[in-house]
Amino acid sequence: AQTVTQSQPEMSVQEAETVTLSCTYDTSENNYYLFWYKQPPSRQMILVIRQEAYKQQNATENRFSVNFQKAAKSFSLKISDSQLGDTAMYFCAFMKLRYGQNFVFGPGTRLSVLP
Amino acid sequence: EAQVTQNPRYLITVTGKKLTVTCSQNMNHEYMSWYRQDPGLGLRQIYYSMNVEVTDKGDVPEGYKVSRKEKRNFPLILESPSPNQTSLYFCASNIPGDEQFFGPGTRLTVL
């Protein structure tokens, strides 16, 4: 079974600064996807970024980028130029690609962006 | 507009009274899933479906039932709710191997 760990329950960052959220996972699978989802106070789940395990290049979406270390099973999210609207819960998620739909989420990191 | 809808958004009920939370998607996605979200535990998968009449258990299926008679609908059934099923529930859909699109969530309280 897969597990996803987020070791930082809460974090804060000053507006315009950079922050990194950590995520580690455990799996015996070789092909899988990793995701970061954002959940603002509205509770809506919003995809931030995704990474295919077979790709060595780290994914980037505007101010959001990941540091994917497959051998270490690490998948951290870096948010540059933090904005007040980035305040939210952030969930790391793992999805295997073999038969089935085993989607596993981490416990989340609550990020507060301070003015 | 592409979306996943859930009803009701809020529900307060009593122990043992059967209830159904509906979920519908208009994106023609094959896969649909149900999750519950509890503080400190993240989202945990209850059941998922890979197509009509094909469903399978997730990590926390006890006390829940699902059915997939139509591609767009995936209701979650609690036949005898208990207080430990008080939670925030999400439905999601996706095409195989791609990101999940989530509904707005249903806040359930079982007294």
Residue A98: pLDDT band by 50, 70, 90 thresholds?
low
CA gap A9, A2 in Å, rounded: 20
The DSSP element (H or E) to which B23 belongs, if any, is strand B19-25
Per-residue model confidence as pLDDT tens digits over A2-21: 899 999 999 999 999 999 99
Residue A94, exposed/middle/buried by CB under 10 A (0-12, 13-18, 19+)? buried
Can you say how many angstroms the Cα of residue A93 is from the centroid of all Cα atoms in its chain?
A: 7
Q: What is the pLDDT along chain B (111 residues), one digit of tens a residue?
A: 889 999 999 999 999 999 999 999 999 999 999 999 998 888 999 999 999 999 999 989 999 999 999 999 999 999 999 999 999 999 999 988 788 999 999 999 999
Q: Are B100 and A103 inside 8 Å of each other by CB?
A: yes
Contact at 8 Å (CB) between A27 and A4? no
**pLDDT computed for residue A99 by the predictor:** 65
Contacts of B102 in chain A (CB under 8 A): 44-45
Nearest residue, CB atoms, A97 vs list B59, B90, B97? B97
